Amino acid sequence: MQRILLISYFFPPCNLTASERVSSWARHLNKFGYYPIVISRRWDNKIKNLSDVSLATPEEVLYEKHDHYESYLVPYLPNLKDRIYARFGNEKYVMPRRALSMIELIMQRYLNWFIPFKNIGDFANEFIAKNEDIKKVVISGNPYILFKFGYQLNKKYGTKWIADYRDAWTTSEIDLIARGAAFRYIRNSDVASEKKWVGSASAITSVSEPILNNLTNLVGVKGKWIPNGFELGEFEHLKDVSCYKEFTVAYIGTLYHGQQIEIFCEAFKLLVDQLKEGTLRLFFPGLAFDAEQHDRIKKIMQGYEQFYLCTERTAKEEILEIEVKSHLLLYPAWKGFNGIIPSKIYEYISSGTHTLIAPSDNGEVEKILKRSGCGTITNTVEETFEFLKYAYELYTKGIKIKADLSGENARFFSREYQAGRLAELLDEI
């Protein structure tokens, strides 16, 4: 077994989706000749709202030994900006907090002291100094300032490292939506940092091929597409769970302004109007976590309040059950933006419940769904309405449309298979 470091800001017990990618590598890389040592921050507090991320943790490094990997979780010691946010949220001292954020974003390029989690980089540096057999590192962003640690480790020890992108950084198209001049200034300044830091990497990986192509053009480093994927057998314990009594369409996860949820909602309302009396429900578990998007759904669904439900942040195990019990799983792709792939798509596929993409991105999400054979794509209100009528008619006969996971195309997206593809890249560097 060759020992390697996996560095990530997010890692279990963090209950955010971002922790699942590196967690899956930690569990599966041993099958391909690598023994991972994870360095991340502590997550002693369940994340129920955004301010929970800024809460302090105990000050000791938490070491855990697992069957196929080990982890070092360093304490999180919030700076002044985080302490203000953790205590007052968005209610008070907004302008001072924004000023502190601006200073942090500018200065952390030059001094690690301004990085709130600089102890992740410090610990990695000390670990490699004491363990000369560590020759390879994988660093997963965001936060993308983590890539600075990879650059510094390479410069000091000659460590080979892979920069893993869960999203695009300065090449992102969606980050500039509804952003002000200050954000654009920071983003433009980040381009030089990205080229410098990631330019020292031996390879880059990304969840999306279009994002990967943009990155290789920017930094001049070879890359490999490593999609997020799903865990085989994750839903095995729910195989005998019955569907909801109501015909239920569920949207799981965060909603963004770039997603045209209106297309599906208008089609759903047409179905409600046609049926007059029908047992239908549009379910948004966890969406109430985002007040702005919750208000957006309220406006779209005004007059149809009895047919939809938004709830607060929901535990992962409950989400899995919702996905199995629903009749359809909805995802409105980013139309006109190619390469934006939510990790939930893979969980949708794994659940065995049919996925409806409405509208399509005419790009990567559509490719994944077609390759897996686990869903349907519609692009207009009319197309969506017709498919909903078809699915509802089957529902009235006691039939649920299911996804087929038995084929090789679907299993390509398993996390174990993708860990093997990462191992192949590690072999090459």
* Class for the domain spanning 2-229+414-428: alpha beta
Rounded CA separation 315/331 (Å): 20
| Nearest by Cα to 151 from 184, 185, 112 | 112
Residue 76: pLDDT band with limits 50, 70, 90: very high
Which CATH number is associated with domain 236-411? 3.40.50.2000
- The confidence band for 45, taking pLDDT boundaries of 50, 70 and 90, is confident
- Name the helix (H) or strand (E) containing 224: strand 223-225
Return the pLDDT at 177. Answer: 62
For residue 371, pLDDT over 90 is answered with no
Rounded to 5 degrees, what are φ and ψ at 296? -60, -45
Of 7, 202, 180, nearest to 102 by C-alpha is 180
Query: Is 422 or 367 the better-scoring residue by pLDDT?
Result: 422
> Which pLDDT band, with edges at 50, 70 and 90, does 88 fall under?
confident
DSSP string, 330-365: EE---TT-TT---THHHHHHHHTBPEEESS--SSHH
Range with lowest mean pLDDT among 23-37, 40-54, 124-138, 411-425: 40-54
Determine the pLDDT at residue 238: 92
pLDDT in the model for residue 49: 74
Share of the chain above pLDDT 70, in %: 97
72 three-state secondary structure: strand
Question: Residue 154 and residue 137: Cα distance in Å, rounded?
Answer: 10
Compute the average pLDDT of residues 48-73: 91
| Band (225; pLDDT cuts 50, 70, 90) | very high
Per-residue pLDDT band at 101 (split at 50, 70, 90) = confident
The pLDDT confidence band at residue 136, using thresholds 50, 70 and 90, is very high
The residue that leads in pLDDT, 373 or 121, is 121
Measured N-to-C along each axis, helices 181-198 and 146-157 cross at an angle, to the nearest 10 degrees, of: 30
Which token pair is 144?
A: 């993308």
Rounded Cα distance between 355 and 400, Å, is 12
**pLDDT-based confidence at 338, cuts 50/70/90?**
low
Arithmetic mean of pLDDT, 367-373: 86
Give the highest mean pLDDT range of 44-53, 186-195, 290-299, 397-406.
290-299
Express each pLDDT in 279-317 by its tens digit.
899 999 999 888 899 999 999 999 999 999 999 888 888
Structural element, H or E, at residue 163: strand 160-165
The pLDDT assigned to 119 comes to 97
Predicted pLDDT at 406 = 67
pLDDT band for position 362 (cuts 50, 70, 90) = confident
Assess whether pLDDT exceeds 60 at residue 178.
no
Task: With a cut of 80, say whether residue 91 has pLDDT above it.
Answer: no
* Integer angstrom CA distances of residue 335 from 182, 261, 267, 338, 366: 27, 11, 17, 8, 11
Q: Which of 63-67, 169-173, 301-305, 376-380 has the lowest mean pLDDT?
A: 169-173
Q: What is the mean pLDDT of the chain?
A: 91
- The pLDDT tens digits for 373-402 are 889 999 999 999 999 999 999 999 999 998
In Å, what is the CA distance from 54 to each residue of 83, 84, 86, 288, 345?
Answer: 7, 9, 6, 20, 28
Instruction: Compute the Cα dihedral for 293, 295, 301, 307 and give only its sign.
Output: positive
> Among 153-162, 189-198, 226-235, 296-305, where is mean pLDDT lowest?
226-235
Q: Are 156 and 125 spatial neighbours (Cβ–Cβ below 8 Å)?
A: yes
pLDDT at residue 187, rounded to an integer = 77
User: Which pLDDT value is given to residue 185?
Assistant: 72
- Which among 164, 283, 173, 284 has a CA at the least distance from the CA of 225? 164
Give the pLDDT confidence score for residue 2 in this predicted structure: 97
Is the preceding omega at residue 116 within 30 degrees of 0, hence cis? no
Instruction: Pinpoint the alpha helices (H) of 108-204.
Output: 118-130, 146-157, 181-198
Type of residue found at 147: F
- Tokens (6 digits) for 363: 């790009």
Mean pLDDT of 141-165: 97
pTM score of the predicted model:
0.79
Residue 341: what pLDDT?
80
Q: Where are the domains of the chain?
A: 2-229+414-428, 236-411
For the chain, the distance separating the N- and C-terminal CA atoms, rounded to the nearest angstrom, is: 16
> b vs e for 155-189, b when ≥16 Cβ sit within 10 Å of the residue's Cβ?
eeeebbbbbbbbbbbbbbbbeeeeeeeeeeebbee
Burial class of residue 2 (count of CB atoms within 10 Å of its CB; 0-12, 13-18, 19+)? middle
What sign results for the dihedral spanned by CA atoms 219, 221, 224, 229?
negative
pLDDT of residue 323: 96
Do the two domains 2-229+414-428 and 236-411 of this chain adopt the same fold? Answer: yes
* pLDDT score of 179 more than 90: no
